[in-house]
Structure 1
Amino acid sequence: MKIVKRYSDDFKREIVELYLTSDLTQQAIADKFGIATHASIQQWVRKFGGEFRTAVMNTPPQNPKSDLPDTPEGMVRRIRELEEALERERMTNLATNKMIDVAERDLNISIRKKSGAKQSKK
């Protein structure tokens, strides 16, 4: 026979607050307080989680300001930063493509999508 534990709403709120304000996982909290399954905590977070929203959490995210430099030196510096970021992304893309090529060749793993309507497996 299965024993069903009933928890008060105050206890559930305390557990939800602990979960939202700590680094503990739902499973760790369930183990610590003798709750049968972490799925119960998931349900409680859905039910009571909105009560613990702070003012910071309720404010909509702001778009980052695009700070355009006012001086020619600032513009040159910003262009240099963007060119360096672009070069890093190009190198990352090159490394990723090389890794995919090696995986497809050496491990016989089909990674890239085949073109056309009929996509056959290798």
Structure 2
Amino acid sequence: MQDVLVWNQDHTRREWKKVPTGRFKFTEEDRMAIVAEYVSGHMPASQIIEKYHLSSRQILFNWMDKYVNEKELVSLQDETNPSDPMAKKSPEDRVKELEAENKKLQKAMELEKLRSKAYDTMIDVAEETFNIPIRKKSGTKQ
């Protein structure tokens, strides 16, 4: 165990807590939630790293690359056989199929929102850092 300064539950102040030393294991959902929290812009990377006890910024950015840019994370392809006619399926099976498809589409939409926010943040940082306009200004002639 090691004493570290961490954010309290409601993120209003920092306090010392005993934290086990060693490596932490994060699930895919945890990693996606951490990336989403960073992309939302409420906390800088240094605070996210401290809050979740990540060993470096690179881990956070690797997760961002994986979960914001990875196409195979959310598969939009339907796993059912397209040649199977709908008439052969019972209403209960059809409802289950539609619920599963709805869940996939919601997950895909969430991922696309996260990706969009990440790209916007990246453009904002690039414009601020390099002092060059990247986004096209409205009302300009083409």
TM band (smaller chain): 0.3 to 0.5
Which structure shows the higher helix fraction?
Answer: 1
Q: Normalising by structure 2, report the TM-score.
A: 0.34
Q: Normalising by structure 1, report the TM-score.
A: 0.39
Which structure shows the higher strand fraction?
Answer: 2
